[in-house]
Amino acid sequence: MIAKNNVKDALSLYFISGTQDTDRDLHTVLEDALAGGITAFQYREKGAGSLTGKDKEQMARTLQKQCRQQNIPFIVNDDVDLALAIGADGVHVGQEDSRAEEVRLQIGPEMLLGVSAHTISEAEHALQSGADYIGVGPMYPTSTKSDAKDVCGPEMIASMRNANIDLPIVGIGGISAENAQEVIAGGADGISLISAISTANDPREKAAVLFHQILTAKQKR
């Protein structure tokens, strides 16, 4: 189980993926991403072509094993039953998914709870609901989430910090090696991304480049 006093560092380079996000075997992509230095993984099996039922559970269990071997938190997107069944390190829910307060009650105090937030009031509400971190986005245009909101940019994270929101924040949406440092400079503790790693020719190298950029950007703050 992840130490709650270390969430800001644990989410520095937070890779998210489901089988629908890559043409390759997701186990191979995850193995490469882990070797490149990702610090957390979220299994987000969602949308056209995604696995369901036993296939999804089986995939979750094998990916979780890979993360455990590297001591990396394994977080499940929006499927509390699955997260509880396999003993995941955490659950992430969107505003449109299960309500955060209910999820906190279901998962208990120990498991990590992440909530998507697009405004300051959503961030404050997430905090009151027992969120351990929030994902704020979209930072930049993304084609991975078809129902993404309007781009809010790293400025939204800076506004949240100015509003004294101190919980761990990761930026999400359209983040790449070209803009990752802006997101950290805006006040994020980490970046979360799908396609920059899941569709990279070399996920290991991409993760390594991103990790280095985040470390450098954090040192400059």
Does the annotation count 145 as an active-site position? yes
State which residue, 39 or 144, has the beta carbon closest to ligand 3NM: 144
Q: How far apart are CA 109 and CA 32, in angstroms?
A: 32
Among 8, 145, 212, 218, binds ligand 3NM (CB under 6 A): 145
Binding flag, residue 175, ligand 3NM (CB under 6 A): yes
Query: Residue 174, annotated ligand binder?
Result: yes
Closest approach, Cβ 108 to ligand 3NM, in A, equals: 25
Q: Hey, what amino acid is at 108? A: G
Peptide bond into 203 cis (omega under 30): no
Taking alpha carbons only, the member of 115, 111, 125 closest to residue 74 is 111
Closest approach, Cβ 172 to ligand 3NM, in A, equals: 5
Taking alpha carbons only, the member of 135, 167, 115 closest to residue 4 is 167
Using an 8 Å Cβ cutoff, are 221 and 184 in contact? yes
Per-residue binding letters, 88-127, with ligand 3NM (x by CB under 6 A): ----------------------------x-----------
Closest approach, Cβ 202 to ligand 3NM, in A, equals: 17
Does the annotation count 61 as an active-site position? no
Q: Give the E-state strand segments of 67-189 in sequence order.
A: 74-77, 90-93, 112-117, 133-136, 169-172
Catalytic entry in 12, 56, 104, 116: 116
Residues 6+ apart with CB under 8 A from 119: 156
Taking alpha carbons only, the member of 11, 2, 42 closest to residue 169 is 11
Query: Residue 77, annotated ligand binder?
Result: yes
Taking alpha carbons only, the member of 74, 22, 42, 46 closest to residue 203 is 22
Closest approach, Cβ 21 to ligand 3NM, in A, equals: 7
- Residue number with the shortest CB distance to ligand 3NM? 137
State which residue, 39 or 116, has the beta carbon closest to ligand 3NM: 116
Looking at 4-12, 60-68, 131-139, 210-218, which segment touches ligand 3NM (CB under 6 A)? 131-139
Catalytic entry in 8, 145, 161, 218: 145
Q: List beta partners, residue 91.
A: 76, 113
Residue with tokens 């709870």: 113
**Which residues are documented as binding site for Mg(2+)?**
78, 97
